[in-house]
Chain A
Amino acid sequence: MTESGATDSLQEKRKRGLHLSRQARENINGYLFVLPWILSLLIFTAYPMIASFFFAMTQYNILNPPKWVGLTNFVTMFTNDPLYWTSVSNTTYYVFLSVPLGLAFGLFLAMLLNQGLRGIGFYRTAFYLPGLVPAVAGTLLWMVLLDPKLGLVNEFLGLFGIERLGWLRSAIWSKPGLILMSLWGGTGGSMLIFLASLKEIPQSLIEAAMIDGANAWQRFWNVTIPMISTTIFFNLVMGLIGSFQVFASAYVASGSGNTAGPLNSMLMYMLHLYRNAFRYFNMGYASAMALVMFIVLVILTLVLIRSSRAWVFYEATTRQ
């Protein structure tokens, strides 16, 4: 009955000349369903990406129309803005310590938890809890913990005879302070990801290695690491992209002064960009900064993808 109903309506449509092929109907329905996303891609991704090339070549303070200045912004950035290079070196320092440390630390905790121990739930929650604290609240808390005179961290280090460090009030120790914050907040997340990835490793592989006489280190290096290398790779790339854009902790910890921390030691790339865009309204210059960061990230990602062929093990491709 329903069959005939469907054909009836089809015939009706045919009579009215509305007959469409199956593919045409799929096309219409399909594009209707994904229409919001196509609009989003055009308005919030494609347009801004193209426009950022234009803005980067202009002087623009929002109030007046953009003025074409060619490559001036880039020339200024590379030759005439010492703070730009400060922000580059601060960000590089931050990224190259916080990302590998976060991944290694997360993997270490995940391996400890992946031994079938009892009470995993408690530890998992303990490690992940800081990830729920918003960056602003977390930074305020660490400003208390890292107090140069009477902070808890210095008190703790004092137990080992380490003298009090200046942390966020010192040009040398402020970045390690920010890295400490990022490890506290971010390690739990990477631990959860690695834990899930470790659970996917077939037990038989590890047993086979054991029978072959592989010791714990060899099993880790030759079985575990290759089996989770896609996860490591993916989180490395996403971690780099994320922490190159670190902002909130540096913004809150450095306060509202003119320098971002002692000697601008917490002036991260994103913070310098933010100040140019929203404090001095140099939208053109900020756009140029964003573009350079984008290009650097694209190159870095491509290099990593290329290198991944050597060290990331794709199980599916070898199996075939």
Chain B
Amino acid sequence: MTTISKPQYTSVVRLHRRKVIRKTISLSISYLILTMMAAIFVIPFLWLVVTSLKPINQVFTDPPIWIPHPILWSNYKDALTTPAFPFLKLLRNTLFYVIMTTIGTVISSSIVAYGFSRLRFQGRDVLFAITLSTMMLPGIVTLIPTYVLFKVLGWVGTYAPLIVPTFFGAAFNIFLLRQFMITIPYDLTDAALVDGATHFDILWRIMLPLIKPALLVIGVMNIMYTWNDFFGPLIYLSSQEQYPLVMGLYAFQMRFSIQWNLMMAASLATCFPLIALFFVAQRYFIEGITLTGLKGV
């Protein structure tokens, strides 16, 4: 430091200080923009909560009312117990749909992914390429013939068309699990094979425990997809008795389209379990979304 002459020294300090100031300003701007953006995303959600607690005459006011007076917790009781929105029954149906498809897709996709990752059968690579290409297949092109098929089978009006196909594997899940399985060292599985284990043993006892995070990712993604699925239940289910939550919500809106406070309470109740799961298993949600979007890499 002694070698630096005084004027030079102060200019270095000044340069450094200027850099710090500039960095602070740019960070503050980033935070400002981020907070404004976050507000844009969060306020509609907040409005859902606020509206669900309002008396009906405070839903549309000028200026808008941010804190309902009184806060009507009873809206939830009213919305969730009305015969038009039988929450517990709807929830039970949704859980049935979610659990069955999750079991189906996790089991079948693991089995198929094992075949693709550990067994060198002839034609494997072609079959795998076909699997990849079906991930881009728009659902619209198979819609009508699939519906006709289920109609002929007499399955329309039941959950079978929504659940049975998941027991045969899903392209993206197979792809994802295979990517995880090929990273497991062969030494591990070959040793078990020499010891006389069957491939099924290896899958069950060695592979699945090792790729548990990947299984959780596809499980969580399937729960999210099925919980929110509207189109499938809309075309395949016919009786109100079978409706899952989102269909129940839609039916509720068709009948009581003016009671927005109750509708918002019902909407929030519909997403609440999923949001709760998100906060418990956030890691797997984020990993799932990210992996879905990075397939191309």
Contact = CB atoms under 8 A, between A and B. Distances in A.
A136 to B, nearest CB: 5
Tell me the dominant secondary structure on chain B's binding face: helix
A223 interface: no
Nearest to B61: A150
Interface string A81-122: 000000000000000000000000000010011010100001
Interface residues of A, number: 104
Interface centre among B51, B294, B296 (most CB of A within 10 A): B296
Interface residues of B, number: 94
Contacts of B293: 189-190, 192-193, 196-197, 231, 234-235, 238
B144 A287 contact: yes
B103 interface: no
A140 B249 CA distance: 9
A117 B28 CA distance: 10
A128 B147 CA distance: 33
A29 B263 contact: no
B38 A123 contact: yes
A36 B168 CA distance: 5
Interface of A: 2-3, 5-6, 9, 23, 26-27, 29-34, 36-41, 43-45, 47-49, 51-52, 55, 60, 62, 109, 112-113, 115, 117, 122-137, 140-142, 144-145, 147, 149-152, 155, 184, 187-190, 192-193, 195-197, 200, 230-231, 233-235, 237-238, 241, 244-245, 247-248, 251-252, 255-256, 270, 273-274, 277-278, 283, 286-287, 290-291, 293-294, 297, 301
Interface of B: 27, 30-31, 33-34, 37-38, 41-45, 47-48, 51, 59-64, 108, 111-112, 114-116, 119-122, 124, 127, 130-131, 134, 136-149, 151, 165, 167-169, 174, 194-196, 199, 224, 227-228, 230-231, 235, 245-246, 249-250, 253-254, 257, 260, 263-264, 267-268, 270-271, 274-275, 278, 282, 285-286, 289-290, 292-297
